């Protein structure tokens, strides 16, 4: 991935449930849209198996949250909430979306197993889909032209979902207004606050990651592949000060 090639290309974020993207990487989304990058959400269920909130309510909350973050959103149905299976047909369907949107960057839930099973299964499906989207000879994806995204990053919806075997890329959320926009987007999912304060959980996580790097707030992304840069110029900041 060249340092400048994907600076304004669309960011495509996949979520298994209506609130996953906002809770898992909403601060990153707020930072990117504030910088002028187009962002599109793909939500792969209505969250119908959840304890709180009807599918209609959760869709409405997700639309409001996406608007607060400056993103567009679409909903697709695969196997249903809490029933997602890893199937080639699903990967091909997601690959078709990647070809249509033609993103520079793709975000998906992490592959760590100790989380909602829909999360890691969707992460694996998106990883497969980003590869399938590149293959020009796949008859199932014609007539859309093949597309190679610049990079796939995973986000963690919960602390347990943070991969232990990948070094994270920390996104600084300290710019004015970023955390406020992210917080508003999370609070739009009011139906999910009845059992636990997920907003405070995510803000606390971002404070911990930020404090470890000398920042007010930061969110981690986990690269599927080692990022490649044209030079050392973009790499002048690290979490540790030597």
Overall average pLDDT of the 228-242 stretch: 87
Rounded (5°) CA angle 170-19-91:
80
What pLDDT digit, counting tens, does each position of 124-157 carry?
999 999 999 999 999 999 999 999 999 999 999 9
What pLDDT digit, counting tens, does each position of 87-123 carry?
999 999 999 999 999 999 999 999 999 999 999 999 9
Is the separation of the CB atoms in 141 and 92 below 8 Å? Answer: yes
What pLDDT digit, counting tens, does each position of 118-131 carry?
999 999 999 999 99
Ranges of each domain in the chain: 11-158+167-228
CA separation (Å) from 65 to 2, 60, 110, 185, 241?
Answer: 31, 9, 21, 4, 36
The pair of structure tokens assigned to 175 is: 């710019």
CA separation (Å) from 36 to 4, 22, 93, 163?
Answer: 14, 18, 28, 29
Please state at what angle helix 198-212 crosses helix 178-187, rounded to 10 degrees: 150
What pLDDT digit, counting tens, does each position of 44-82 carry?
999 999 889 999 999 999 999 999 999 999 999 999 999
Domain 11-158+167-228: homologous superfamily in CATH: LmbE-like (3.40.50.10320)
Residue carrying structure tokens 């290309």 = 9
Query: What percent of the chain clears pLDDT 90, i.e. is strictly above it?
Result: 90
Provide the pLDDT confidence category of residue 38 given band limits of 50, 70 and 90.
Answer: very high
pLDDT at 234 over 90: no
The residues with which 169 forms a beta bridge, in sequence order, are 221
| pLDDT for position 3 | 37
pLDDT at 1 over 90: no
């Amino acid at each position: 991935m060249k340092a400048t090639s994907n600076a304004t290309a669309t960011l495509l974020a996949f979520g298994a449930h209506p609130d996953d993207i906002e809770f898992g990487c909403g601060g990153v989304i707020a930072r990117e849209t504030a910088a002028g990058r187009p962002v599109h959400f793909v939500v792969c269920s209505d969250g119908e198996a959840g304890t709180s909130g009807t599918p209609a309510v959760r869709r409405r909350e997700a639309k409001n949250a996406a608007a607060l973050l400056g993103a567009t959103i679409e909903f697709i149905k695969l196997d249903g909430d809490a029933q997602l299976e890893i199937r080639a047909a699903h990967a091909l369907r997601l690959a078709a979306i990647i070809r249509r949107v033609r993103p520079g960057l793709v975000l998906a839930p992490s592959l760590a197993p100790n989380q909602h099973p829909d999360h890691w299964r969707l992460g694996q499906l998106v990883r497969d889909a980003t590869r399938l989207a590149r293959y020009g000879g796949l008859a199932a994806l014609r007539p859309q032209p093949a597309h190679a995204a610049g990079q796939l990053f995973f986000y963690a919806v919960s602390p347990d979902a943070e991969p232990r075997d990948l070094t994270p890329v920390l996104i600084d959320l300290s710019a004015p207004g970023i955390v406020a926009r992210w917080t508003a987007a999370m609070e739009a999912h009011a139906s999910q606050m009845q059992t636990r304060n997920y907003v405070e959980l995510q803000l606390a996580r971002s404070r911990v990651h930020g404090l470890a790097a000398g920042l007010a707030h930061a969110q981690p992304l986990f690269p599927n592949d080692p990022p490649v840069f044209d030079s050392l110029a973009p790499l002048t900041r690290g979490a540790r000060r030597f």
